[in-house]
Every structure is written in C-alpha cells, then in structure tokens.
C-alpha cells in the first residue's frame, strides 16, 4: 500500500516526489482557489456581474471553483485517484447524476414559483 499513490495532478503536468509532498501541493492549490473566491466575493468586479444562464457570471465562477475544490479534495485527500476505475465511478457517477437531477428539478420549480409571485396576483408586501 505504501507507495502505490499516483503522484501527478493536472493530468501529469505537475508531478510530486512523494505522497506527503503531493498533499502540501494540493493544500496550496486549495488555498489559492479559496483566496481567489474570497477576493472576488469582497470586491465583486463589475465586469463579472453580467447575466449568464439565469445567474451572474460571478456566481458561475464561484460554482466552478467550488467543484474544482471538491474534485481535489475527493481525488487527492480521499484517495479517489488511487481507487480502481469501477469503484470510483460507482461512488462519483451515482452522486453526480442524482444531485444534478435533483438540482435541476428544484431550481426550475423555484424559478417558476418566483415568477408567479412576481407577476401573479399574490400580495405579500403589506
């Protein structure tokens, strides 16, 4: 078990010499991503506030960065990179499929109800 870890991230672009080194490397990456998120969250640059697919571009950037973080936590901290492909797919694809489905259904419905509240005859401001 000791040295069976895959030590490359970014599809082999960055290779680490030992597993411990890889852990610190991934920590630096995660910290960088979080720092970018925090800076964007504080300053909210005007150029990123345009609407893309129902949300501001900034929100999409946040969500993408979050998924990137989740990927590195799962792949390197939880050793998904070292598991067999079948096992990895069993856990990851199941989750990803069900969660995307649930999110799509609920957000679609929430947006619809929001429109009904805004344009319909429901009075809630009194």
Partner 1 sequence: MSTTVVKTETEGKTWGGGNEPLKASYGKMMMWFFIVSDALTFSGFLAAYGFSRFKFSNSWPIADEVFTHVPFLHGQELPMIYVAFMTFILIMSSVTMVLAVDAGHHMNKAKVTIYMFLTIIGGLVFVSSQAWEWVTFIKGDYGAVGTHGGNIMQFVGPDGKRVALEDFAIADPYNVRERHESKKGLWFTSEKSLPSFTIDEVVAGFIANPDILVKTTYSDENGQKIILSRNESLTELKTKGKNVVEGANLIQNEYGSPLFGDFFFFITGFHGFHVSIGILLNIIVFFNVILGTYERRGSYEMVEKVGLYWHFVDLVWVFVFTFFYLV
Q: Residue 14 or residue 38: which is nearer to partner 1 going by CB?
A: 38
Q: Which residues pair with 7 in a beta bridge?
A: none
Q: Degrees (nearest 5) of the Cα angle 62, 11, 76?
A: 65
Contact by Cβ (8 Å): 58, 40: yes
- Residue 84's Cβ-count burial label (10 Å; 0-12, 13-18, 19+) is exposed
Binding string to partner 1 for residues 97 to 126, with x set by CB under 8 A, is what? -xx--xx--xx-xxx-xx--xx----xxxx
Asked if 8 interacts with partner 1 (CB under 8 A), we say: no
> How many whole angstroms separate alpha carbon 74 and alpha carbon 46?
33
Asked if 74 interacts with partner 1 (CB under 8 A), we say: yes
CA dihedral 72, 74, 78, 84 (to 10 degrees): -110
Asked if 48 interacts with partner 1 (CB under 8 A), we say: no
Asked if 32 interacts with partner 1 (CB under 8 A), we say: no
Q: How many residues bind partner 1 (CB under 8 A)?
A: 55
Which stretches of the chain bind partner 1, using CB under 8 A? 1-2, 19-20, 23-24, 27, 30-31, 34-35, 37-38, 41-42, 49, 55-56, 59, 62-63, 66, 69-70, 73-74, 76-79, 83-84, 86-87, 90-91, 94-95, 98-99, 102-103, 106-107, 109-111, 113-114, 117-118, 123-126
């Amino acid at each position: 078990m000791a040295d069976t870890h895959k030590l490359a991230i970014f599809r082999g672009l960055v290779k680490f010499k030992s597993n411990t080194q890889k852990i610190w490397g991934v920590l630096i990456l995660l910290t960088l991503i979080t720092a970018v998120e925090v800076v964007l969250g504080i300053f909210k640059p005007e150029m990123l506030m345009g609407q893309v697919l129902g949300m501001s571009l900034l929100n999409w950037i946040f969500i993408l960065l979050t998924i990137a973080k989740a990927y590195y936590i799962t792949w390197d901290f939880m050793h998904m990179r070292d598991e067999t492909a079948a096992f990895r797919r069993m856990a990851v694809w199941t989750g990803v499929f069900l969660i995307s489905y649930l999110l799509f259904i609920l957000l679609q419905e929430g947006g619809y109800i929001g429109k009904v509240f805004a344009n319909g005859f429901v009075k809630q401001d009194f």
